[in-house]
Amino acid sequence: MQLNGSEIIIECLKEQGVDTVFGYPGGTILNVYDELYKHPEIRHILTSHEQGASHAADGYARATGKVGVCLATSGPGATNLVTGIATAYMDSVPVVAITANVGKPLLGKDSFQEIDIAGVTMPITKHSMIVKSIDRLADTLRRAFKIAKSGRPGPVLVDVTKDVTAATYEYTYKKPEEIVPETDRITEKDLNRAAEMINQSKKPFLFVGGGTVISGASEEVRALAHKIQAPVCDSLMGKGAFPGDDRLYTGMLGMHGTKTSNLGMYACDLLIVLGARFSDRDVGNPKSFAEQAKILQIDVDPAEINKNVIVSGSVIGDIKEVLKRLLPMVAEKEGGEWVSDIMKMKEAYPLAYSPDGLTGPFVIEEIYRATKGQAIICTDVGQHQMWAAQYYNYTAPGTFLTSGGLGTMGYGLGAAMGAKCGRPEKTVINVAGDGCFRMNMNEIATLVRSNIPVIEVVINNHVLGMVRQWQTLFYGKRYSHTILEDQVDFVKIAEAMGATGIRVTRREELRPALEKAIALNAPVVIDCQIDCDDKVFPMVPAGVANSEVFDESDLAKKNC
């Protein structure tokens, strides 16, 4: 049947099973919005800023496993998506961003609100393309969804000129292609080598990354860990891939990982790395990373093998499929002395914080208790992000959403919005710092307008906490532009936007505030006032070996 370009865009979204999109209208995309008006089966969330739309599409994708979709007009509308697109790219999140551009005759003439957004986003997408002919529109959109979801997922941008959104062409429905796990590069040779390394190991250690979450390999990872009695640590992006309440779990690895994970990694004879890219925040000094051990890396992306850390063996392919084939090839092990040693480490080096006053770690633990560990937790970036990773036990994938690679302040509120739209049955809480909340607090108005019941917990220390921590430890306490000395009242801001605002200054006030927020089932902002010098420990200074991990007690001994 003959349809115009805008109708084709909507029909392609329906083909792909899209039920929610996030966006902001403008001149060049008006034809698409006019058609969207006629299709209430696709819920559109009008965000307060296009960046909020891209973060919301990201959060929706992470929480549901589907492709997230955002829309924006040309020029500044499109460029406002860029930070969210880059965030999704760094964390391998499947997002399709659809933008509209000026008409084809106006391209390249510095027209009003014209920009080469496909060119701008080329380095931060799996693929970016501009559609300047109506006969290419449907197939380009279908290809975009396939690219976003297949292999190592990531964002794809499709820019459509305004004349294409108005032109007509023959449209025929096509069932979406099935996305199958990548197995072409899995070889018997690599599997045999991997099995041999595991079977010969006396002290195996698992390091679980975000690729494990993406592949849906949680059951296989748990089966492997228990079959070979290997302790398990994770990266920030790997949270939830292995249950945080499992006996073999040792906590996060890296800059703010546990002492048990950082020191235990130097005691193993085999480090099995599942879907982790050896980020500098995880490995510290790559030259000394697990230098005593053999390293086996399993990853879907061949570009990650030997990129940051040289490994002894590797298997390239979807982690779930690799582990399915590998599990029957490995022999059961007794935990024995190795696991016993790690358990002793866990007892000797627990996470600890001051028992006095309202602190970041206490806030996270109280959230865990109030939600019984069943919430979706989103975060922004900074100290609160690390506390949320350390003190909330994640037992399922897709329940901890954070900007790990790009480290985007302002990410969490939009992501929480998207997660709640995708998983309405879940309690969704965004944990933010006051600096981050200032970045995208305007999306509270979106939550109220669209009746999206997200709880925003602001851990408010009136400073840029993580930067201040570095200034305290490494910059002689020179607090250059990190003190937020103003009279901003987050409770009043919440109320002004139509949400409920609650201020918490003492420990005993927090649990009632959380229970009230959950019971209200409406947008709520809880402003938790903590001390400006609360710090995140343990810590590994940038660029040094993870074995140099220290905590507050180590600092006290050093300063004696």
DSSP-assigned beta bridge partners for residue 525: 456, 501
Cα 337 to Cα 320: distance, rounded to the nearest angstrom: 29
Dihedral angle, C-alpha 161, 167, 173, 174, nearest 10 °: -40
Nearby residues of 117 by Cβ (< 8 Å), 6 or more positions away: 74, 78, 79, 99, 101, 128, 157, 159
Closest CA to 225 of 256, 268, 255, 288: 268
Report helix angle 360-371 to 383-391, nearest 10: 50
Under 8 Å between Cβ of 377 and 388: yes
Tell me whether residue 322 is exposed, middle or buried, using C-beta atoms within 10 angstroms of its C-beta: 0 to 12, 13 to 18, 19 or more: buried
Q: How far apart are alpha carbons 370 and 431 in whole angstroms?
A: 14
Separation of first and last alpha carbons in the chain: 80
Q: Report the C-alpha gap between 170 and 380 in whole angstroms.
A: 45
50 classed as catalytic: yes
Tokens of 85: 């697109």
Active-site annotation holder among 15, 113, 227, 552: 113
Residues forming beta bridges with residue 232, ordered by sequence position:
206, 249
The answer to whether 474 is a known catalytic residue is no
Catalytic residue among 466, 497, 535, 539: 466
Separation between Cα atoms, residue 463 and residue 481, nearest integer Å: 9
Q: How far is residue 237's CA from residue 252's CA, in Å, rounded to a whole number?
A: 10
- 204: helix, coil or strand? strand
> Phi, psi at residue 217, to the nearest 5°?
-100, 20
Whether the Cβ atoms of residue 10 and residue 42 lie closer than 8 Å to each other: yes
User: Token pair for residue 244?
Assistant: 């945080």
DSSP strand pairing (168-170 vs 2-4):
antiparallel
Token digits for 318?
């979807």
Pull the structure tokens for residue 458. 């602001």
Active site residue 487: no
Cα–Cα distance for residue pair 444/430, rounded to 1 Å: 11
State how far the Cα of 49 lies from the Cα of 449, in Å rounded to an integer: 14
Catalytic residue among 35, 50, 321, 366: 50
Q: Is 557 a catalytic residue?
A: no
Q: What is the gyration radius of the CA atoms in the chain, in angstroms?
A: 24
Is there a catalytic annotation at residue 409?
A: no
Catalytic residue annotation? 50, 112-113, 162, 466
